[in-house]
Structure 1
Amino acid sequence: MTGGLVSPWILGTFLPSSSEFSTSSPSPANSVCRSHFRAPKDLKFVLHEALDFAGFNTTYAREARKGFCLQIQKLSGIERETSIIINRGVDLGKTALYIAAEDDSLISHSSVPLPVDAFIDRLDDLSMDYCSRYSSSFRSSPDIFLECLERYMYVDKGFRRSNSRNQLEQRAVYLHSVLTHRVGSICMLSLIYSEILKMLRMWGLVNFDVEISSPNDSYGSPRGYLKQRSTESDHQHIMTTESLLLKVASVFFVEIFTCRFIY
């Protein structure tokens, strides 16, 4: 089967806004990057129906897509443009895992679904483990706390940024793989960093505002800083909820257009 399928991340879930396109015909990649997240009115997806017709089992892929849609239905217009660290309407960890689960089902033809809940537990365990190792940091200054958190992520747990020149490298952009191999893209490391911080804030252990700087270079890792010290130039390094999900979903888009899931 060749490239006659249209990405379901465009049809039904990511609906492009016509006002955002130039007068020339947009490329597929631009269609993804310029799309907005909107909840679909129904759950009929072109890709799944086409694969069902071709004899592929899309049961797990459909379930993953339903989970994804249930999450983004909670995403308001304001929250789309806010930093991932303060978003409360959507469980970004679970949303990223649903994207990975659908891709895993379609590309690997796995006989079992990706265990989303198990990887959510693994993500939550990072926050619990930080508390057991660095409980004294909660009584220290914010600067000391952030130093401890970065030491925990990048030294103790060994998370590091992928050095692949291919920014769409599959392993580095899917959350379950990053949690397993500890190597990830800037967006996945930012997500893990923010999820740890959000859990600590929810437990009442952190009572000051932190922002995450996601560098635009090819080697830096996400770092936390006090929001009250931020300047206007820092805003360009803040990862929003929409930009995070579009970066993750764009990998799925490329997989479809190269038809890597068809043997």
Structure 2
Amino acid sequence: MAFPWILSNSLALSSSSTCNFLPWTLPKFQFHPSTRSVNCRCKCGLSAEDDLKFVLHDALDFSGIDTSHARAARVGFCAQIKNFSDLERGTSITINRGVDLARAALQIAAEDDSLISHSSVPLPVDDFIERLDTLSMGYCSQYSSSFRSSPENFLDCLERYLYLNKGFRRTSTRNHVEHRALYLNSVLTHRSGSVTMLSLIYSEILKMLRMWGVLNFDVEIFFPHDSHSSPRGYLKQKSKESDQSHIMTSQSLLVEILKDLKNAFWPFQLDHARSPFIRAAEAAHCVTGANNANESASQLASAKAGRHRLQRGVWTSVHFGDMRRALSACERLILLKHDPKELRDYGVLLYHCGYYEEALQFLKHYRDTEQSGLIDNVEEDAVEKLVVRLNLILMEVGWSRQPKHRNILFNNSEPW
């Protein structure tokens, strides 16, 4: 299902003084038109009939943060996915040639790097592409004898090269993964990464070997769903029906990369048993029967301390993520046109940032595109309550959003 949207190009809006990471009093705000012309229409060929607008880049621009490198990286990401046909979306990552998955992953890393570092130079994407090529060439020089051996021995040699000789390893648990393990450039540098990143690197080596004519059999990558195994190659001719759930397609890989980032930086980290949306909706008092009453005093104290740290621009609290990177992950997931729920999740983040009009637009568009038979009743009820609240806020006489302090979205001081 396709969804129409464009990046914001007409208004840069100020945001709230605080984000409601837990149910505190809702602040009021005021719109401020931008004095600069920002032309940032997405290059993905998406329809703009509903005029849905992304917020992140313009909001940061308005706060005085230069987003030129972040915007360029977003355009680079869009350039990779703009011709994402249904066939290419379902193509295995080991044989896909329509989308450069490694370059798309590096453009994701480049945008987030610009958002948090405010560097005057962009992330050198081409240099890391060259590192991948060098990694493939290294296998050829060390294990050239495997080209004449059986497919099983070839794959054993490849895994020995990747996991032993080069020392790539998977980070431990999904909920507490190191943030650098989620970005391809960092994984290539530190050789420690998520299962998604290791699968991508494995597939890139296979694709290069196939392009060089040294791989003459069909191979798939087994993507493990446990918390400790590493990706492994296997001969496709010997695959079983049960292996299908472990095959990564081009779309599922990009979705997995972005969902890992979204979950890691989601600003509501308590209770991973519930969906990110429910945690955010509960913080907005839009979920009945919430678990807040059952939370321990230490949890609430930790949450309050984390909120105070974020207000001072410190982004290292384990209980509160990074609103900037959570928003950027949501925007890219929406661009992938993978799941209407991404519109809903982006909308609830905008609500907590004080972008009420935009939040209402995305939530309404989600309701128009949702498949009601597949929606969880608790989540559906939370969406309805949030829409009602947004309508009431926007109907308030004399409603304004003039912050006394900057929203955490605009804090650019870092602890390092």
TM-score by length of 1: 0.81
- The CA deviation at 1:111 is 2.1
- Partner of residue 301, structure 2: none
Q: Which amino acid aligns with 1:259?
A: M
Question: Structure 2: how far apart are the matches of 1:98 and 1:197?
Answer: 21
Contact 1:61 1:102 in 2 (8 A): yes
Which residue, out of 78, 82, 85, partners 1:73?
Answer: 82
Which deviates more, 38-47 or 227-236? 38-47
- Is residue 2:242 matched to residue 1:237? no
Q: Which amino acid aligns with 1:41?
A: L
Provide the identity percentage.
Answer: 64
Contact 1:190 1:214 in 2 (8 A): yes
Contact 1:170 1:251 in 2 (8 A): no
- Partner of residue 400, structure 2: none
Q: Which amino acid aligns with 1:195?
A: E
Contact 1:167 1:185 in 2 (8 A): no
Q: 1:115 to 1:42 in 2, by over 3 A?
A: farther
- Partner of residue 306, structure 2: none
Which residue, out of 192, 196, 199, partners 1:187?
Answer: 196
Q: 1:109 to 1:123 in 2, by over 3 A?
A: same
Question: Structure 1: how far apart are the matches of 2:72 and 2:260?
Answer: 19
Q: Which amino acid aligns with 1:244?
A: L
Equivalent residue runs for 1:7-86 within 5 Å? 12=6, 39-41=44-46, 45-86=54-95
- Partner of residue 246, structure 1: 255
Deviations 1:148-195 (A, max 9, x none): 000000000000000144266421110000000000111100000000
- Partner of residue 130, structure 1: 139
Question: Structure 1: how far apart are the matches of 2:214 and 2:109?
Answer: 31
- Partner of residue 323, structure 2: 259
- Partner of residue 233, structure 2: 224
Contact 2:173 2:228 in 1 (8 A): no
- Partner of residue 104, structure 1: 113
Question: Structure 2: how far apart are the matches of 1:89 and 1:51?
Answer: 33
Corresponding pairs, count: 230
Question: Structure 1: how far apart are the matches of 2:189 and 2:231?
Answer: 19
- The CA deviation at 1:250 is 2.8
- Is residue 2:261 matched to residue 1:197? no
Deviations 1:53-103 (A, max 9, x none): 111100000110111111101321111122111111011000000000000
Question: Structure 1: how far apart are the matches of 2:206 and 2:261?
Answer: 28
Give the match's secondary structure for 1:212: strand
CA RMSD of aligned residues (A): 2.3
Q: Which runs of 5+ in 2 are unaligned?
A: 8-42, 268-321, 325-408
Q: 1:12 to 1:180 in 2, by over 3 A?
A: farther
Q: Which has the larger radius of gyration?
A: 2
Question: Structure 1: how far apart are the matches of 2:6 and 2:193?
Answer: 28
Question: Structure 2: how far apart are the matches of 1:256 and 1:62?
Answer: 21
Q: 1:168 to 1:69 in 2, by over 3 A?
A: farther
- The CA deviation at 1:229 is 0.6
4+ residue stretches of structure 1 with deviation over 4 A? 10-13, 42-45
Q: 1:223 to 1:135 in 2, by over 3 A?
A: same
Contact 1:40 1:69 in 2 (8 A): no
Q: Which amino acid aligns with 1:159?
A: F
Contact 2:94 2:207 in 1 (8 A): yes
- Partner of residue 94, structure 1: 103
Question: Structure 2: how far apart are the matches of 1:223 and 1:12?
Answer: 39
Give the match's secondary structure for 1:117: helix
Question: Structure 2: how far apart are the matches of 1:235 and 1:88?
Answer: 20
- Partner of residue 33, structure 1: none
- Is residue 2:148 matched to residue 1:139? yes
Question: Structure 2: how far apart are the matches of 1:106 and 1:252?
Answer: 14
Q: Which runs of 5+ in 1 are unaligned?
A: 1-9, 14-37
Deviations 1:198-249 (A, max 9, x none): 0000111011000000111111000000001111100011111112111222
Contact 2:173 2:227 in 1 (8 A): no
- The CA deviation at 1:40 is 4.7
